[in-house]
Amino acid sequence: MTLHFKPVARGNGTAYLFPGQGTQTVGMGEELYDNSKAARSVFHEVDKALERPLSKMLFEGPADELKETENAQPAILAVSLASVKAMQDHLGPDTVPSPQFVAGHSLGEYTALAVAGVLDIAETAWLVQERGRLMQEACQSQVGAMAAVIGLDQMTLEQICREAGTVISTVNTPDQIVISGDRRSLANALDMATARGARKAMPLRVAGAFHSPLMEPAQAGLIDAVEALTFKDPSVPIIANCTARPLTKGSAVKNELIAGICNCVNWSQSVTYMLKSGVDHFIEIGPGRVLSGMVKRMDSEVRVENIGDWDSLLTFNRN
């Protein structure tokens, strides 16, 4: 199954955003499954592609299994794509504008490429499961951690990371930045950040040091997985995590995915690019509202909406 959008003129002002790992909860997507035939078809297709009943784990748990990287990533993808299909089926183009850009936060970038027609749903689900499995194995072989730092600018944190032996792994907003590294180096970096005026500097409850050199064991396997698939040119430009610039060729999307597993997610720059390109309407599609909050912190004037469950579909554009 492929998701399709009509061609969009430049400057129509709407972008679709897709969330990353950490937004998973037991029960997410179940109302979509129960109420939308279009959404239900996505869950069935993902289950078939993965050759296991992922939707059962999604709806019933247990939570400890769902939060494992190799389960959480395809689960979030499934709910996000089911939300897109339900949106297309129930609201239609007169209610929901087609996007000028699509963008996803880390894992969400895979949802974005499926929505842009680079891969179909089954291919994307298989690739995301492989990515999750490879990342989980890398976490076990190279133990690391991540921490959020709030209240310091990127330049200051880059200096701290050089001194401590860590790296910046995600720039969510100009003053909300995530760093990664081995546990001892990360603890030193947090002490330095606090000493230099960070409002908060706290470890995150994640499996490992995502988007850092400690993920290199996963990169080789991801290259093999990516090369096994045929990437089409996107029907809608995808804003890349690594460069914060549009991807318009399938080959460029392929290179972005390979680079992204070990490199920083430049989300703040991605949002800034879209804002400067005329986007004033963001629709976050999938579980949670994390990305909506980030966008609002960067520009409180833009319109931000969410579609991630049945109630949000029923109330969309009526607030």
Q: 106 catalytic, yes or no? A: yes
Residue 33 and residue 82 in contact, taking contact as beta carbons nearer than 8 Å: yes
Residue 74 and residue 57 in contact, taking contact as beta carbons nearer than 8 Å: no
- Report which of 80, 287, 286, 264 is spatially closest to residue 178, judged by C-alpha positions: 264
Report the alpha-carbon distance of residue 289 to residue 278 in Å, rounded.
Answer: 22
Cis peptide bond upstream of 62, omega within 30: yes
Sign of torsion over alpha carbons 69, 72, 77, 80 = negative
Q: Which position among 211, 212, 235, 268 bears the catalytic label?
A: 211
Identify the bridge partners of residue 168 per DSSP, sorted by sequence position: 179
What distances in angstroms separate CA 124 from CA 60, 89, 111, 260, 268, one per listed residue?
A: 23, 21, 8, 16, 25
Report the alpha-carbon distance of residue 169 to residue 114 in Å, rounded.
Answer: 24
Q: 211 catalytic, yes or no? A: yes
Task: Find how far residue 162's CA is from the centre of its chain.
Answer: 27
Q: Which position among 36, 106, 169, 312 bears the catalytic label?
A: 106
| Catalytic machinery residues | 106, 211
